[in-house]
Chains A and B, each alone.
Chain A
């Protein structure tokens, strides 16, 4: 498959050349679709709609984009749009079906390493998040900031972990390969694989202590 630089795509789109659209689709459509369905568990049809919305937003806003440092700027810009669209989808799902929909809650239920209290801690945070979003009709403004507030505890608890533990948890949640994480943590990929479950357990423990209401 031919490779196109981001510089070339941006130039084509700014000039109104339709080849730019094809190159954009070739370079990003399957990639974003894979991220949406595999990492964020967006159902396939919704993911296709979401990706086309992201690419349409790119087309509509292309004139506001400027390269500042490198060819990668465009990728980061596009990924920000993608992340915002996935967030909107998650919020909508939280307000309608609930977040566990399409997620493997059973994995947590079956896993003997987590106690009932620990499981309940996770659920209560997600429930708070869902409730703080309100109904789809009243989801503007303050509801969204209170939604972010409901997740404050996660950042606080992560700060209590060691740096490499924090990096491991954050990155594995997004399926970043152990080999890549290893480069930033000073631990080998093999060690990280072994430690991952333990770090999760530690995180849950701290989370339980931070949210004492759930018992």
Chain B
């Protein structure tokens, strides 16, 4: 369908978009009835679905509890039925580092910006969500040692495995509830990293 259009139509369209004129819902009804005339490649649709899924997951996690990078990456990977090797081979991150990352055993600041760029592209993670998680995970890693020392004083379990699990759970709960101001030097390091990450185009 190639109808003749001119600048008057443009003028009316702009007025419609700016809310100066209305079609009283007729345009919206037409859109619903019209068959889409543009086709999109399956790969484009799949990539968009993946991006939306990541956003959905990130929103859901935000609504329930603050999420660390490890928990987020693990959930996202399992959601997409991927193995750690799949991520490793696609992002170029070493296997050990990736495993530590998934378990929040390493500060995200130790991972290069290049690797983060690859991760963002691979998982389609929105920058603001990533920044939040980096901030939280860095805090968690930084404060974990002091959590452990504190919590150990209260833990009386003899079984090593049970003790570790209890400590881990307690540390996570404490982290979720706590406000954790980083020392100035650490905060500056974190801010500089986040700034560089934002400047790095995905």
* With contact pairs A25-B45, A126-B10 given, residues A56 and B18 touching in the complex (Cβ less than 8 Å): no
User: How far apart are B25's CB and chain A's nearest CB, in angstroms?
Assistant: 7
| Interface positions of B from 40 to 65, Cβ below 8 Å from A | 40, 44-45, 48-49, 51-53, 55-57, 59-60, 63
Give every chain B residue within 8 A of A151 (Cβ-Cβ). Answer: 14-15, 18, 20
With beta carbons under 8 angstroms apart, the residue of B9, B21, B49 that contacts A154 is: B21
Report how many residues on chain B are interfacial, defined by Cβ distance under 8 Å: 49
Binds A, one of B26-34, B101-109, B145-153, B173-181: B26-34
With beta carbons under 8 angstroms apart, the residue of B17, B28, B37, B48 that contacts A76 is: B28
User: How far apart are B69's CB and chain A's nearest CB, in angstroms?
Assistant: 19
Contact B6 A60 (CB under 8 A): no
Give every chain B residue within 8 A of A154 (Cβ-Cβ). Answer: 11-12, 15, 20-21
User: How far apart are A214's CB and chain B's nearest CB, in angstroms?
Assistant: 14
Tell me if A21 is interfacial: C-beta within 8 Å of chain B: yes
Looking at chain A's contact residues, the main secondary structure is helix
Give every chain B residue within 8 A of A104 (Cβ-Cβ). Answer: 5-7
Contact A155 B20 (CB under 8 A): yes
Give every chain B residue within 8 A of A48 (Cβ-Cβ). Answer: 40, 44
Number of A-B contacts (CB under 8 A): 165
The interface size bin for chain A is: 35 or more
Contact A18 B12 (CB under 8 A): no
Tell me if B4 is interfacial: C-beta within 8 Å of chain A: yes
**Between-chain CB contacts (< 8 Å), 26 pairs:** A18-B49, A26-B45, A30-B38, A31-B34, A37-B38, A38-B38, A48-B40, A55-B48, A55-B52, A56-B52, A56-B55, A63-B63, A75-B28, A76-B28, A79-B27, A100-B7, A105-B7, A129-B14, A148-B18, A152-B20, A154-B15, A155-B20, A174-B23, A175-B30, A176-B26, A204-B8
- The 8 tightest CB contacts between A and B, nearest first, are A173-B12, A30-B36, A21-B52, A87-B17, A34-B38, A16-B60, A107-B6, A173-B9
